């Protein structure tokens, strides 16, 4: 199957089931330039920054978006390039949010298990600047009715979280073993630092004399590993983060 249709629709590598040839890569580059890819990317980057509020995460989001464009394709006759990129930014932002939430819950359960096993007391670190513990906005004093609703929602959230944590708990004893098998040095360092109460990736980078980006990239690998472990233990398929259009 060709990567391009007669009408100029780029099908994407996922649909054709293979990598692009050199000629197809040049054709795609020509198509993107013809639709002002640079200008569209700048608009998509501003949109990514508006969603993430962090330059580094916005750039990471754009990188994921460009990869998704190559994989999923684009029909220039149906959707302008800038709109296609912004749609993919929105989809990838929610994928990143879901990955971060999965990693956060895995971390919480792992630390709790280590504490219960007597691995040592952990000291809480400040939540400032931690993407996994964003500050909560201040609220006005709620009415009695609002307070009752809030407490009910909190109880439901706690019950739901406990159910999710129970599912994760079984995977944690195998997490270090899996990371060792993968020879994932950065995530093994992350485990050790978390046990010492260090949560900030910048502090981890300073301690290990590594680039802080290593720890941000490692979080993605760690999330995939957790998902696979949960899938193996529960028998349910891994979450498919493809966009449903």
Going from N- to C-terminal start, the domains of the chain cover: 13-95, 97-121+151-234
- 159-214 tens-digit pLDDT: 665 665 555 555 666 778 888 888 989 888 887 777 677 778 888 888 888 888 88
Residue 236 dihedral angles phi and psi, to the nearest 5°: -90, 150
Residue 196 dihedral angles phi and psi, to the nearest 5°: -90, 0
Strand partners, 47: none
Task: List the structure tokens of 64.
Answer: 């994921």
pTM, two decimals, is: 0.44
Contacts of 64 (CB under 8 A, 6+ apart): 92, 95, 96
The residue among 203, 234, 216 whose CA lies nearest residue 96 is 216
Strand partners, 10: 4, 74
- 139-174 tens-digit pLDDT: 555 565 566 566 666 677 666 656 655 555 556 667
Helix H or strand E encompassing 210: none
- 46-89 tens-digit pLDDT: 999 998 888 888 899 999 999 999 999 999 999 999 999 999 99
Using DSSP, how many helices (H) and how many strands (E) does the chain show? 10, 0
- 3-58 tens-digit pLDDT: 899 888 999 999 899 999 999 999 999 999 999 999 999 999 999 999 888 888 88
Cα dihedral sign for 152, 155, 156, 157? Answer: positive
């Amino acid at each position: 199957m060709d990567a391009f249709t007669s009408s100029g629709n780029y099908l994407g590598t996922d649909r054709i089931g293979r990598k692009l040839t050199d000629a197809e890569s040049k054709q795609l580059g020509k198509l993107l330039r013809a639709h002002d890819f640079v200008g569209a990317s700048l608009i998509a980057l501003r949109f990514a920054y508006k969603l993430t509020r962090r330059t580094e995460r916005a750039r990471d989001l754009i990188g994921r978006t460009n990869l998704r464009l190559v994989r999923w394709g684009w029909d220039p006759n149906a959707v302008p390039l800038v709109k296609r990129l912004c749609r993919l930014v929105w989809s990838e932002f929610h994928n990143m949010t879901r990955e971060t939430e999965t990693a956060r819950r895995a971390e919480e359960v792992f630390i709790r298990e280590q504490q219960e096993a007597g691995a040592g007391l952990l000291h809480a670190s400040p939540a400032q600047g931690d993407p996994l513990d964003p500050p909560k906005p201040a609220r006005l004093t709620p009415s009695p009715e609002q307070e009752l609703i809030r407490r009910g929602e909190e109880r439901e959230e706690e019950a739901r979280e406990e159910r999710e944590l129970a599912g994760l708990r079984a995977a944690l004893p195998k997490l270090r073993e899996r990371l060792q098998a993968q020879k994932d040095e950065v995530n093994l360092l992350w485990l050790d630092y978390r046990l010492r109460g260090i949560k900030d990736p910048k502090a981890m980078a300073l301690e290990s004399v590594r680039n802080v980006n290593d720890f941000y990239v490692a979080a993605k690998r760690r999330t995939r590993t957790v998902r696979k472990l949960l899938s193996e233990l529960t028998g349910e398929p891994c979450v498919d983060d493809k966009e449903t259009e």
